[in-house]
């Protein structure tokens, strides 16, 4: 999700903060300190309001992180790789490498978030109940966090993709129809309907009620949901096509290789700059020895390139991820995502027979979509599933 700052790992899952998160953090903090808490708890000092607002904002985003962690931890336990969790302007998002393999897994993972928000909300409401006679500041913070977490759970249960409620709807339709693609189309349509309602509500807030800031936020949320619903459907469409394809349908068979004794200077001058290629298999007698990329070359100063050989700079075969010709294309893309690489050598008994890149995968999907083959293949698959 664009540029984000990594702040650590929880349960082995990297946690990051997108730059847009700082904007909403400040907005929530100022709103709570300058307007909300002075209205609901009059008589306290300005310092107390700002302290209350700071901890409330911090715990609120901690609750959002807990919501996303529940999705991610269950996904990992169900065999679905999770790349990271990122907090951003609309809350949080889990970067899950692929979709669930069955509707039951989809349902369990989708419900985990709202259920965790409800549990967190109830915990804060219990704190509110017992702290009310002791501290008005603590009880006000706890009450706000309790209500906002319950609201977060209910909002996410709206039956529109990609909200959790939309994923629940997709799981149910998927179970009934036997087609993940059809279920996604229905859930994504629900997401678009919900997004249009948010946009209309935002326009109503601005034009009729005169609430400009609130109206803009509602419209902005609607726009985001509409965009996310469309992109989520396209992602499932891509996964569906990849699931039915093998590596040998996509891989490049005509590719350049380089010997291990070539100098890095010659590699750059004669191959990289002349042909614009960014990755080269390093081969000796048709045997794959490794892979050298621009990333490998950049580790060394330019003045050392004439003395360094490709064999010294390359990523050796034992450290490489490789694919086979008959391997499922979706599994290969998932491997590229998890390993954070843009290409994989395709081997057969140690010999390199091809190279598969992200560009090849995108081109494969784009051509089939343009020819209408994607819809036909999906329809055939849905009929078989049904």
How confident is the prediction along the chain (386 residues), in pLDDT tens digits per residue? 556 788 888 888 888 888 878 888 898 999 999 999 999 999 999 999 999 999 999 999 999 999 999 999 998 888 888 878 888 766 677 777 677 888 999 999 999 999 999 999 999 999 999 999 999 999 999 999 999 999 999 988 988 887 899 899 999 999 998 887 788 888 888 888 988 998 999 999 888 888 887 788 888 888 888 887 777 777 776 777 777 788 888 888 888 889 999 999 999 988 888 777 888 899 988 788 999 988 889 889 999 999 999 999 999 988 888 888 888 888 888 788 777 788 888 888 878 888 888 888 888 877 777 766 555 444 444 444 43
Domains of the chain: 4-243 (no CATH), 248-365 (3.10.580.10)
Radius of gyration of the CA atoms of the chain, in A: 26
pLDDT of residue 184: 83
Phi-psi bin for 372: left (phi > 0), alpha (psi -120 to 50), beta?
Answer: left
Q: For 208, which DSSP code? A: T
How far is Cα 108 from Cα 113, in angstroms, rounded to an integer?
9
CA dihedral 134, 140, 141, 144 (to 10 degrees): 140
Measure the CA angle with vertex 326, ends 325 and 329; round to 5°: 90
Q: For 303, which DSSP code? A: G
- State pTM to two decimals: 0.70
Structure tokens at 214: 């609130």
């Amino acid at each position: 999700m664009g540029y984000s700052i990594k702040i650590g790992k929880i349960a082995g899952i990297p946690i990051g903060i997108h730059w847009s998160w700082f904007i909403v953090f400040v907005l929530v903090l100022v709103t709570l300190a300058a307007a909300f808490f002075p209205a609901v708890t009059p008589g306290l000092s300005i310092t107390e309001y700002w302290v209350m607002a700071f901890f409330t904002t911090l715990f609120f985003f901690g609750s959002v992180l807990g919501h996303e962690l529940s999705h991610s931890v269950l996904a990992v336990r169900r065999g679905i790789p999770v790349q990271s969790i990122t907090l951003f302007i609309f809350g949080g998002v889990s970067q899950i490498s692929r979709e669930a393999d069955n509707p039951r897994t989809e349902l369990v993972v989708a419900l985990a978030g709202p259920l965790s928000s409800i549990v967190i909300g109830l915990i804060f409401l219990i704190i509110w109940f017992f702290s009310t006679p002791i501290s008005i500041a603590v009880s006000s913070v706890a009450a706000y966090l309790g209500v906002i977490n319950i609201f977060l759970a209910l909002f996410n249960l709206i039956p529109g993709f990609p909200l959790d409620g939309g994923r629940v709807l997709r799981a149910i339709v998927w179970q009934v129809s036997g087609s993940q693609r059809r279920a996604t189309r229905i859930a994504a349509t629900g997401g678009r309907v919900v997004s249009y309602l948010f946009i209309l509500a935002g326009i109503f807030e601005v034009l009729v009620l005169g609430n400009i800031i609130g109206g803009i936020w509602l419209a902005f949320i609607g726009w985001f949901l509409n965009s996310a619903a469309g992109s989520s459907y396209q992602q499932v469409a891509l996964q569906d096509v990849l699931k039915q394809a093998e590596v040998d349908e996509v891989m490049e068979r005509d590719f350049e290789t380089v010997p291990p004794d070539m100098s890095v200077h010659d590699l750059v001058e004669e191959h990289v700059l002349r042909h614009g290629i960014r990755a080269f298999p390093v081969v000796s007698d048709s045997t794959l020895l490794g892979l050298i990329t621009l990333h490998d070359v950049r580790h060394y100063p330019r003045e050392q390139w004439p003395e360094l050989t490709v064999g010294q700079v390359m990523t050796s075969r034992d450290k490489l991820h490789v694919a086979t010709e008959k391997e499922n294309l979706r599994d290969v893309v998932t491997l590229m995502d998890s390993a954070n690489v843009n290409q994989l050598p395709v081997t057969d008994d140690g010999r390199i027979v091809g190279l598969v890149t992200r560009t090849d995968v995108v081109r494969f999907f784009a051509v089939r979509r343009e020819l209408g083959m994607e819809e036909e293949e999906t329809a055939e698959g849905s009929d078989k599933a049904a």
